[in-house]
Amino acid sequence: MQHVFIIGSRGLPAQYGGFETFVEELVKHQQSSNLKYHVACLSNTEHETHFEHLGADCFTIKAPKLGPARVIAYDMMAINYCLKMVKEQRISNPIFYLLGNTIGAFIGRFVKKIHAVGGHLFVNPDGLEWKRSKWSKPVQAYLKYAEKCMANQADLVISDNIGIETYIKNSYPTAKTRFIAYGTDTQVSSLTAKDQKIRTYFEKWDLTEKGYYLIVGRFVPENNYETAIREFMLSETKRDLVVICNHEGNAYFDTLRAKTQFDMDERVKFVGTVYDRDLLNYVRENTFAYIHGHEVGGTNPGLLEALGHTDLNLVFGVDFNKSVAQSSAYYWTKEAGNLASLINDVDKQSDFKALGEQARAIIKESYTWEKIVGEYEELFLHES
């Protein structure tokens, strides 16, 4: 039996973002009976208690509330508890799969402990976290240093985007790397235009099928909301712009409004978050076009979901995005007028079925969870 300890996500059941969804899908689609997953779960109330979820052994870690440093304490405590389990249960050849670089500056001591019990440390660096604008300069400097420490000391660095793997190889030539993509759900919405849930939602926001452009994603500056909204407002389209994000109570919302004055354009509609997967898929499938502005990171789940459900995708042209969408999307830049011109061009057309089919083919070939989980299981069982 190969034991894999997964550390760095908030845990299961998944209620948050990319890492949590990844862990959920990894255990849900488990194919081999020779694997046992142990998943760290951040808790505010319980510590070192166990429960089972989808066959995985989940354990809680109550990390002290230290602001941004809490995630560092959480990862350290989780690794130490996993080491304790390995010793008590006499587990041989354990794999420690650490999601994120946060504790990189302190990883040396833990690598020694992991190797001492015959284990291996695999790391997923996520994206270029140190580039995110939400961090202060000192925090960015720490995260860059943490990335360096992790890349140079881990037994294997697993990237979910070719662009990230290339960056790691170029930046840290001694690092051993592996590319395994992120996955996505390809199931179409079961809802139809006649369903009351759809009609209620569309009437609430005064929407019509194919009558809107769509943005979905975390509400942070590096996702280029300012450029996307400003350019949309410059365009001549009569369609709406529907923005699905966590904008409520976010100071960036007021900053963005002051910079763009989007509240003066009745086409721009911030509609909050949508946690109903079936509803969200319907909204994606019936948008005229999806606008993707993510600039920092690896394979973004939102882009995969768009390619799986939307025919026309207008994507910010960085390597990370291009390596995923390839020729199935149109690309834009931050140059003034670039996206507005693109919107004006596509807005006059109506049939993008061929692009949609190409996007779905990319997803089916490279990004289904079944394929991704199969690659992980092969890695865990044969390359540890």
26 phi and psi angles, rounded to 5 deg? -60, -45
Q: How confident is the model at residue 130 (pLDDT cuts 50, 70, 90)?
A: low
pLDDT on residue 310: 97
Beta-ladder partners of 60: 41
Instruction: Tell me the Ramachandran region of residue 290: left when phi exceeds 0, alpha when psi lies from -120 to 50, beta otherwise.
Output: beta
> Higher model confidence: residue 135 or residue 192?
192
Q: Using the predicted structure, report yes or no on whether residue 131 has a pLDDT greater than 70.
A: no
Q: Using the predicted structure, report yes or no on whether residue 92 has a pLDDT greater than 70.
A: yes
Q: Are 284 and 309 in contact (CB under 8 A)?
A: yes
pLDDT on residue 162: 86
- Check the CA dihedral 38-44-48-52 and report its sign: negative
Q: How confident is the model at residue 319 (pLDDT cuts 50, 70, 90)?
A: confident
pLDDT in tens, 36-73: 999 999 999 999 999 999 999 999 999 999 888 899 99
Q: Which of 14-18, 19-23, 286-290 has the lowest mean pLDDT?
A: 14-18
Please tell me the distance from the alpha carbon of residue 186 to that of residue 281, in angstroms, as a whole number: 10
Which domains, ranges and CATH numbers included, belong to the chain?
A: 2-183+368-382 (3.40.50.2000), 196-366 (3.40.50.2000)
Alpha helices in the chain (DSSP H): 18-28, 70-88, 107-116, 137-153, 162-171, 196-204, 225-234, 251-260, 277-285, 301-309, 319-325, 338-347, 353-366, 369-382
Q: Using the predicted structure, report yes or no on whether residue 127 has a pLDDT greater than 80.
A: no
pLDDT on residue 136: 77
pLDDT on residue 141: 86
Q: If you ran DSSP here, which 8-state letter would residue 187 be given?
A: P
Spatial CA neighbour of 82 closest among 2, 27, 152, 3: 3
Please tell me the distance from the alpha carbon of residue 147 to that of residue 171, in angstroms, as a whole number: 10
74 phi and psi angles, rounded to 5 deg? -60, -50
Angle between helices 196-204 and 277-285 (to 10 degrees): 70
Q: How confident is the model at residue 384 (pLDDT cuts 50, 70, 90)?
A: low
- CA angle, 126 then 330 then 184, to 5°: 40
Mean pLDDT of 251-277: 95
Please tell me the distance from the alpha carbon of residue 280 to that of residue 177, in angstroms, as a whole number: 35
Q: Using the predicted structure, report yes or no on whether residue 4 has a pLDDT greater than 80.
A: yes
pLDDT on residue 300: 83
Q: How confident is the model at residue 334 (pLDDT cuts 50, 70, 90)?
A: very high
Mean pLDDT of 331-356: 97
Task: Go through the chain and tell me how many residues it has.
Answer: 384
Q: Using the predicted structure, report yes or no on whether residue 301 has a pLDDT greater than 90.
A: no
The single residue listed with the structure tokens 């959920």 is 24
User: Collapsing DSSP states into helix, strand and coil, what is residue 200?
Assistant: helix
Spatial CA neighbour of 182 closest among 308, 277, 300: 300
Mean pLDDT of 251-257: 95
Q: Which of 108-117, 118-127, 303-312, 357-366 has the lowest mean pLDDT?
A: 118-127
Q: What is the pTM of this model?
A: 0.86
What mean pLDDT, rounded, does the chain reach? Answer: 94
The DSSP result for 23-89, as a single string, is HHHHHHT---TTEEEEEEEE-SS--S-EEEETTEEEEEE-----GGGHHHHHHHHHHHHHHHHHHHT
Please tell me the distance from the alpha carbon of residue 194 to that of residue 374, in angstroms, as a whole number: 38
Six-digit token string for 159: 């990237």
Percent of the chain with pLDDT over 70: 96
pLDDT on residue 204: 97
Q: Using the predicted structure, report yes or no on whether residue 261 has a pLDDT greater than 60.
A: yes
